[in-house]
């Protein structure tokens, strides 16, 4: 697993670096990606009041987005569960296929680019 911030490799994701990136306002125009393998990732960006999060599911080869903005604390917990490979990491939030966002059927106001 590795962490990238706007394309720059930051090594293995840890609670310390994820907490810093999520809470540090200087990263607001950046996005970060936790790459699990060649087929799956979790990525996030946005303001502290409503972060936008997406993930790619290796089993279905689909990208999903969290249908509502999440808080910094929720994102940190989500990332740590993702890193620990907790199978229930998605459960606290509703996830929709990215096509729903592209059709404008969501309250989300923007999307982020992929890898």
Is the residue at 82 inside a domain?
yes
What's the number of domains the chain is made of? 1
Is the residue at 14 inside a domain?
yes
Q: Is 27 helix (H, G, I), strand (E, B) or coil?
A: helix
The pTM for the full model equals: 0.80
Cα atoms found within 13 Å of the Cα of residue 111, Cβ hemisphere only: 19
Closest CA to 43 of 30, 61, 59: 30
- What pLDDT, in 10s, does the model give residues 5-44? 888 888 899 999 889 888 887 777 777 899 988 889 999 8
Dihedral sign, CA of 40, 42, 45, 50? positive
- The pair of structure tokens assigned to 31 is 């996005």
- Low-confidence winner among 47-56, 73-82, 85-94 (lowest mean pLDDT): 47-56
Is the residue at 111 inside a domain?
no
Q: Predicted confidence band at 49 (pLDDT cuts at 50, 70, 90)?
A: low
């Amino acid at each position: 697993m590795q962490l990238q911030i706007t394309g720059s490799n930051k090594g293995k994701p840890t609670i310390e670096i994820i907490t810093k990136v999520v809470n540090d306002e200087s990263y607001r125009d950046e996005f970060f990606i936790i790459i699990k393998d060649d087929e799956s990732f979790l990525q996030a960006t946005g303001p502290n009041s409503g972060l936008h999060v997406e993930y790619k599911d290796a089993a279905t080869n689909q990208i999903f987005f969290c249908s509502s903005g999440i808080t910094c604390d929720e994102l940190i917990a989500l990332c740590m569960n993702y890193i620990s490979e907790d199978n229930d990491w998605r459960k606290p939030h509703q996830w929709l296929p990215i096509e729903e966002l592209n059709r404008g059927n969501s309250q989300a106001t923007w999307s982020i680019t992929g890898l």
